[in-house]
Amino acid sequence: MKLTFPHMGNVYIAAKAFFEELGQEVIPPPRNSNKTLEIGTKYSQETICLPLKVMIGNFVETIERGADTILLTGSCGPCRYGYYSVLEKNILQDLGYDVDFVVLDPIGEGIDKLKINVYKLFNARNMKDVMEAARLGWKLIKKADYITDLSNEKRAYAINSYEVDVIMDNYYKEVENTFGAKEMMDLMDSTIEKLNKVKTKKDYYPVRIGLIGEIYTVIEPFVNLEIERKLGHMGVLVEKSLTPTIWVEHHIKSFPFGSKIERLKYELAKPYLKTGVGGHGRETVGSAIYYARRGFDGAIQLLPLNCMPEIVAKSILPKVSKDYDFPIMTLIIDEMTGEAGYMTRIEAFIDLLKRKRRKAVNE
Ligand code: SF4
């Protein structure tokens, strides 16, 4: 089995090390690029949401490098993600690619098939092997996220924020040259050390923004046009409402009750949205309130064009914004999004937040 998976933020870093450590042959997806998007757009339905298009591009690129098995998480509920695996399999078949799909469906969809897939992927003989592998996976995911978050923090406070980019770009390059968990952990440790050496401003109080919205768009830098970097270079501190760590904590580690923080977001969203609308629509509403309550300066909602759950959330956010006197901007992204217009909107929003802050100080 030559395993691959979609490129989604930093997930590939943890997944590569994890599956290599478990003895699988991994063909990691190359970082998303215009070429990835071009391939995906060419072979997907025009009106399907952007993550599927980028994933198709990923898969074609990795199949061309030898991958024969695609790993994907499944989903249920009122959102297109539930049929991504079926659609993707059909598209690839039509292109003449004969690949296996291993879909890890939610536990609620039936434990037997999930168990077979997990044992196969984890090369596990028993539950003890599964638990050991899960512990390793959790460690890798948490560390990969820690580095991303640390880089965002350092960029906001750095005297020269581009130093952070150099460290992170080297890290991404080096990821390709590592094999297994030990080498990856060592690389991560040395990256953390370098980030901690970046010189930062003293007595600086950055504008704080919560990034909320559709998970893929929030965590995949190619798709969101590197919004974390853009904001960081403007001296803005960014926090994402969704990360792989938050997802695993909520859906796997704290199953069946869910993590404390996500349950809180559900509660906060309730006065505005009582039922789930698929994807992370309800979480987006809850997260906006969560950031408002924590004293953030504003939030930016990111969503791909046509994303059903986020369109519902988008229609509710103006009310949240008014009730909490909390600025929220929505950015809708598709393959036609132009960088210049996108940047202008972000800059205007940050100016507005800074003005609002100054006004509050002078009052
Ligand atoms: S959450 Fe939105 S973008 Fe993601 S699969 Fe569902 S509809 Fe598409």
Residues with CB under 6 A from ligand 1: 49, 51, 79-81, 214, 216, 279, 304, 307-310
pLDDT digits (tens, 9 = 90+) for 109-125: 778 888 899 998 998 98
Give, using CA atoms, the residue closest to atom 1 of ligand 1. 279
C-alpha angle 343-198-152 in degrees, rounded to nearest 5: 40
Atom of ligand 1 nearest to the CA of 308: 7
pLDDT digits (tens, 9 = 90+) for 78-97: 788 888 999 999 999 999 99
Atom of ligand 1 nearest to the CA of 51: 3
Ligand 1 binding pocket mutation candidate from 45, 308, 333, 334 (most atoms within 8 A of CB):
308
pTM, 2 dp: 0.95
Residue where the block lists tokens 């270079």: 233
pLDDT digits (tens, 9 = 90+) for 132-162: 999 999 999 999 999 999 999 999 999 999 9
Q: What is the pLDDT of residue 76?
A: 67
Query: In the chain, which stretches have pLDDT less than 50?
Result: none
Atom of ligand 1 nearest to the CA of 84: 5
What is the 139 CA–ligand 1 centroid distance (Å)?
Answer: 28
- Residue 335's DSSP bridge partners are none
Taking CA atoms, 285 is separated from 245, 312, 315, 349, in Å, by 20, 9, 10, 19
Q: Identify whether the C-beta of residue 317 lies closer than 8 Å to the C-beta of residue 301.
A: yes
Q: What is the pLDDT of residue 105?
A: 84
What is the 333 CA–ligand 1 centroid distance (Å)?
Answer: 12
Q: What is the pLDDT of residue 337?
A: 92
Ligand 1 binding pocket mutation candidate from 45, 48, 49 (most atoms within 8 A of CB):
49
